[in-house]
């Protein structure tokens, strides 16, 4: 069971520097003011220094000790120097480390928690930092406090993807795509666009209206899912785990979430020549339409739109 209340402040080194700076300032500046007064018997400069002491103390507290992230059974509260933001657990869609603070967002609100930051250098080098650990902790708490995590007694769990799993998501998608789409994208002619796919996952993890999920089996990730309030964007299972019903679990999970939000129908796009995927979706109640578009990657094969209607929404009468 998660603790009822957890708080994250600035990194220990940062707090140590701020506290040291504040204590030294509060001691040194008044002493300096007293010495000046003893020498000059004037009040003006010592008074200015005492005001400066108060200002320094307030600055150290407001910008160093005051900012924090507080998680309790109801949600997350982000406290910045001059602003606060509150998120209920079920509304959180994004938790992502950023240079200016940990980004926490819902479809209607976005904020950056100043107290937890990750440098651009660490991001470029793929280093796992304290910011990644805090983000993973908050996402785990969000899963623990919301329904529909997809867990069961067989070691299967559908959880929120963590921001440091960009490369893992890209690798899983590559494995699934190369196994199923070699006849459409011959690898000798069209090398897999690994970097483009990784950048796309990074964008999706930061998108406030997109949910990214990972399916774990005995704590090992085997599948991925991305969806928004009306569309299943990406779904796949690594080849070694295909044919075991995991794809069906992810698809059913996405549809339940989309329909629970009130959508009349869910949509997705599938390659026309991906007959196996089309059969899979049809078996789960999806209907093919006449809508077509080009795939975003060469040789730009056609995709078709498929839909599944919300069974809870009554059909219009004639």
32-71 confidence digits (pLDDT tens): 998 998 888 888 998 999 999 999 999 999 999 999 999 9
148-318: CATH topology: Aminopeptidase (3.40.630)
Q: What is the pLDDT of residues 258-287, one digit of tens each?
A: 999 899 999 999 999 999 999 999 999 999
pLDDT at 139: 94
From the centroid of its chain, how far is CA 5? 21
- Percent of the chain scored above 70 by pLDDT? 95
Spell out the residues 6+ positions from residue 278 whose beta carbon is closer than 8 angstroms to its own: 270, 272, 288, 304, 306
Q: What is the rounded CA–CA span in Å between residue 273 and residue 302?
A: 8
DSSP, collapsed to helix, strand or coil, labels residue 295 as coil
Spell out the residues 6+ positions from residue 188 whose beta carbon is closer than 8 angstroms to its own: none
pLDDT at 315 over 90: no
Say if CB 131 and CB 79 are below 8 A apart: no
Q: What is the pLDDT of residues 162-208, one digit of tens each?
A: 999 999 999 999 999 999 999 999 999 999 999 999 999 999 999 99
| CA-to-CA separations, 96 to 135, 137, 248, in angstroms, rounded | 6, 11, 28
pTM for the whole thing?
A: 0.84
Q: Could you tell me the residue ranges of all domains in the chain?
A: 1-146, 148-318
pLDDT at 2: 46
pLDDT at 133: 94
pLDDT at 317: 45
């Amino acid at each position: 069971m998660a603790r009822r209340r957890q708080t994250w402040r600035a990194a220990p080194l940062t707090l140590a520097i701020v506290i040291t700076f504040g204590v030294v300032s509060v001691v040194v500046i008044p002493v300096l003011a007293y010495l000046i007064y003893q020498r000059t018997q004037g009040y003006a400069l010592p008074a200015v220094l005492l005001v400066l002491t108060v200002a320094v103390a307030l600055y150290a507290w407001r910008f160093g000790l005051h900012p924090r992230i507080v998680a309790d059974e109801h949600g997350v509260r982000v406290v910045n120097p001059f602003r606060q933001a509150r998120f209920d657990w079920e509304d959180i869609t994004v938790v992502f480390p950023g240079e200016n603070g940990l980004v926490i967002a819902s479809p209607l609100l976005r904020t950056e928690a100043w107290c937890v930051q990750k440098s651009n250098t660490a991001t470029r080098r793929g280093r796992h930092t304290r910011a990644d650990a805090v983000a993973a902790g908050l996402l785990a708490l969000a899963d623990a406090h919301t329904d529909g995590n997809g867990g069961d007694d067989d070691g299967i769990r559908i959880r929120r993807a963590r921001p440091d799993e960009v490369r893992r998501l890209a690798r899983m998608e590559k494995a699934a795509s190369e196994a199923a789409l070699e006849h459409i994208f011959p690898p000798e002619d069209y090398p897999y666009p690994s970097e483009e796919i990784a950048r796309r996952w990074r964008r999706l993890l930061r998108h406030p209206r997109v949910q990214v999920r990972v399916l774990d089996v005995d704590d090992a990730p085997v599948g991925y899912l991305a969806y928004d309030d009306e569309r299943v964007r990406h779904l796949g299972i690594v080849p070694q785990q295909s044919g075991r019903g995991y794809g069906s679990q992810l698809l059913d999970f996405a549809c339940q979430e989309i329909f629970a939000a009130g959508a009349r129908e869910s949509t997705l796009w599938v390659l026309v020549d991906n007959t196996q995927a089309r059969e899979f979706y049809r078996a789960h109640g999806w209907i093919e339409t006449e809508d077509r578009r080009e795939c975003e990657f060469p040789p730009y094969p056609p995709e078709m739109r498929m839909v599944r209607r919300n069974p809870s929404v009554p059909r219009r009468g004639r």
